[in-house]
Copies of this chain bind each other. A is one copy, B any other.
Amino acid sequence: MKQIQGGVTAAKGFQAAGIEAAIKYQNRKDMALVYSEAPCVAAGTFTTNVVKAAPVLWDRKIVQESPYVQAVIANSGIANACTGKEGMDCCAAESKCAGELLGIPETSVLVASTGVIGMQIPVDRITEGIKKLAAAKADTPEAGTDAAKAIMTTDTVEKQIAVTFEISGKTVTLGGMCKGSGMIHPNMCTMLAFLTTDLNISKQMLQKALSADVEDSFNMISVDGDTSTNDTLLILANGLADNEAILEEGEDYDTFCQALRYVTTYLARKMAGDGEGATALFETKVIGAASKEDARMLAKSVICSSLTKAAIFGHDANWGRILCALGYSGAQFDPENVDLYFQSASGRIHIYGNGAACSYSEEEATKILSDPEVTVLVDMHMGEQEAVAWGCDLSYDYVKINADYRS
């Protein structure tokens, strides 16, 4: 497997566009298109929040019922959540308009939105936007970047990646983009992430791979513990790589799952590190856990702790808060048997073991904690299971951004 330049347009037959539609934001790209020249099988995972945005309800149905999908229309600025019948009508209007302009069945169109909850999307602006998207679509890396920029809200950078790998002697490409920032605590999927591949795979195996993957990628990140109403992860596979179709588990399926994990982990880490107000990516790796479930609970509990996140922001080696967060995670363990380490590009220090603080240099700890990527390594000494979770620090800017997000 090899990482290459590009994102959603890297795989054969995929085009994209990002344009200005003034849905809510002015003078910036706020609508994106992902389009495949050939019909794709599609799989998706969606928010588990009881309050589901209209596009989530729409896409869930399309992914379940449509055999093929060929386009995704996404907008930022307005989430189309808590918008009742008018919100569903908007999804229908988007699909109809995109279907006509792209010359594909309207049941082949997925839609996605992110932004403020409760506002209605102006339908005339979104259909005007779709016209611009259809005219602008291209298979270039620049078009992929435009799309990745258009789905951003409070994100500070666009997030995309592409890789190639071999399946049955053919080169397959997998690319993706996502946006995150606030209201990030995915449960079964993430805010908005779109993956494209020219892999030849059955719809069933594609969904299986995606559903398994999110448990250790997007579901292991959190910015603020708030599970969004709009979480949507979609993958489109158009088969143009011409490999022997993947119809069951086996070596080819595993190769794809590995590439998928690489791509989703990359995007998930980017999303966590670019959380609202974040100055650092805060990773927690739990090893030696009794079960996989325990490992995940322990790792997520630490990256979700407000007190720990504030300490990371302050470059303060306050390991008591980490132990406290492990303690209320729901997993059972003996605190006397846990080892804690801080590590980063600057080094690694042992901070807690044998039931008490280790003797370490505060200066060295502060140096490690001042790096842009900080890891807490937790050894439970109870078994062989591991998990990694990703979050970010809690800064003044998180409060600033969210104290007045609507205006």
Contacts and interface: CB of A to CB of B under 8 A. Distances in A.
Interface of A: 48-52, 79, 81-86, 116-118, 182-183, 185, 187, 224-229, 304-307, 310-311, 313-314, 316, 318-321, 323-329, 331-333, 335-336, 352, 354-357, 394-396, 398-407
Contacts of A356: 82-84, 86, 118
B51 A327 contact: yes
Nearest to A187: B328
Given A183-B324, A321-B226, A405-B311, A357 B305 contact: no
11 contacts: A84-B355, A117-B320, A118-B356, A225-B306, A226-B325, A229-B320, A229-B327, A310-B403, A314-B402, A318-B406, A398-B399
A141 to B, nearest CB: 34
B403 A399 contact: no
Contact of A327 (B50, B225, B324): B50
Given A227-B328, A229-B324, A229-B327, A398 B84 contact: no
Given A49-B328, A333-B50, A356-B83, A316 B403 contact: yes
Given A227-B328, A402-B306, A320 B81 contact: yes
B305 A226 contact: yes
A305 B228 CA distance: 11
A336 B88 CA distance: 13
A307 B226 contact: yes
A402 B318 CA distance: 10
